[in-house]
A and B are shown apart, each in its own frame.
Chain A
Amino acid sequence: MNGLGCAASREAAPELALGILDGAERAEVLLHLATCPRCERYVSELAGLADGLSRLAPELEPPAGFAERIDAEIRRPRRRTRRRLVTAIAATAAAATILAVATVQIIDAGRTPTSVAAPALHTAEMVGDNGARVGHVALSNTSPSSLVVNVDYAVPDGRYSLELGQPDAGGQRIGAITIAGGRGEWIGTAALPRGPDATLMLVNAHGVAVCHAAITQPQAS
């Protein structure tokens, strides 16, 4: 798999901005954007339009008692609650297409644009403790490697440390990812450890790895 250039990225930009581009194609475009400020601005502009589309939905009065029920929930002492639909959502989302938030979240403030390259990509599934797929990782064959981490299922909302290493031995922090609305994305660079067994983990505030991906440094092109 080769990285995309400006023309191909711009062709895919509308689908990325609308949040309907998935999998490896999405990762390829994101990696291109990480190196191309012009395309990044273009996608941001489209993402703004895409966000505006959601505002076009009519405002509707919810059923009687709606706000009161939420209010009661808010004022109740914190505990884990799950409504029936959310359970159904979780059961089904495993098979769902990767849908990512099409907002300017693709712009990571910490990134520094570098030269435009066409890196080969390697993708790996991110899996949770029970082996269920919770997202994916795409990484380039460059050194340091460019990474796109996409989580779209079963990871509780919150902020997680991204660490490279081994689940049992701990890892080296390479950044932090925020999961909001069940989804999160991180784009950045990292020097991958030598050897075939590198693992990328999302680690919660208690130091527990909630999911991981076994990654292999792609062959340099």
Chain B
Amino acid sequence: MWSVADDALLAGMAAGDADAASAFVERFQRRVYGLAYTIVGDARAAEDVAQEALLRAWRHAGVFDARRGSVTTWLLTITRNLSIDALRVRRPVAIDPDRVIDLAPVAPGRGPAEIALVRHDVGRLREALTGLPDEQRRAVVLAGVVGLSAREVAEREDIPIGTAKTRIRTALGRLRVAMANEEPAE
């Protein structure tokens, strides 16, 4: 079952195949729960968010459009949005931006191609992120993963909003350059 591509699992879910859905949940539950927990910082709330995200994937598998990104991206976007909404119910929550770059090894049970892609791209992104100045890394993580607006980043970091915007902008720009420079020459 694990050799089945993500897209194929999702297609099975769209067709109402409960076994495909079970395999999908098994494959993505750690990633979904990990992201939810990283953002909301509470096990019970993270469980609720992760469950809702996976159930939404089940209910709405038919609207997934592969032209607009990978299954992982789609699912993590749903998870992130639900987490951010949940976080707004529970704010303020102490969030350590550095916690989200504490990468776990790629979980087993995924196709070889996916493992290779994730290891390669995520590893490079993590390296680029850790190479940023602390304040820029914090800003882009708070914005990009936790979903804080520039104003919220400014409040949390106790800096002017213009400075927060500059940090976010500069950080993402540097990540873009770093990732472009590290593209393998093939």
On A, residues with C-beta under 8 Å from B are: 11, 14-15, 17-20, 22, 45-46, 49-63, 66-67, 69-71, 73-75, 83-86, 88-89, 92-93, 96-97, 99, 101, 103-105, 107, 109, 157-159, 178, 180-183
Contacts and interface: CB of A to CB of B under 8 A. Distances in A.
Interface in B141-186: 141, 143-145, 147-150, 165, 168-169, 172-173, 175-176, 179
Contacts of A17: 172
Given A46-B172, A74-B55, A103 B102 contact: no
Contacts of A58: 34, 38, 99-100, 102-104
Given A49-B175, A105-B69, 14 more contacts: A18-B172, A51-B73, A52-B122, A54-B76, A54-B77, A56-B122, A73-B55, A84-B48, A85-B52, A89-B85, A92-B89, A157-B63, A181-B53, A183-B81
B116 to A, nearest CB: 14
Contacts of A45: 176
Interface in B74-108: 74, 76-82, 84-86, 88-89, 99-104, 106-107
Size band of the B side of the interface?
35 or more
A217 to B, nearest CB: 31
Contacts of A181: 53, 56, 77-78, 81-82
Contacts of A73: 51, 55
B129 interface: yes
Contacts of B1: none
21 contacts: A20-B149, A49-B172, A49-B179, A52-B121, A52-B125, A53-B100, A54-B35, A55-B121, A56-B122, A56-B126, A57-B34, A59-B34, A60-B34, A67-B29, A85-B89, A89-B85, A103-B68, A105-B68, A180-B56, A180-B60, A181-B56
B125 A53 contact: yes
Contact of B89 (A55, A70, A89): A89
A182 B49 CA distance: 13
Contacts of A158: 60, 63
Contact of A85 (B48, B67, B80): B48
A45 B179 CA distance: 11
A5 to B, nearest CB: 17
B82 A19 contact: no
Contact of A59 (B21, B39, B47, B107): B107
B15 interface: no
Contacts of A70: 25, 29, 51, 54-55
A182 B169 CA distance: 27
Interface centre among B26, B58, B65, B85 (most CB of A within 10 A): B85
Q: Which of A18, A45, A57, A89 has the most CB of B within 10 A?
A: A57
Nearest to A61: B30
B107 A66 contact: no
A2 to B, nearest CB: 20
Contacts of B54: 70
Contact of B88 (A11, A52, A93, A105): A93
Given A54-B35, A60-B30, A101 B81 contact: yes
- List the 4 shortest-distance A-B pairs measured between CB atoms, nearest first: A181-B78, A60-B34, A53-B144, A85-B48
A103 B125 CA distance: 17
A27 B25 CA distance: 35
Given A14-B172, A86-B52, A104 B100 contact: no
Given A86-B52, A157-B60, A181-B82, A59 B30 contact: yes
Given A17-B172, A57-B34, A99 B144 contact: no
Contacts of B49: 85
A105 to B, nearest CB: 5
A157 B22 CA distance: 21
A103 B144 contact: no
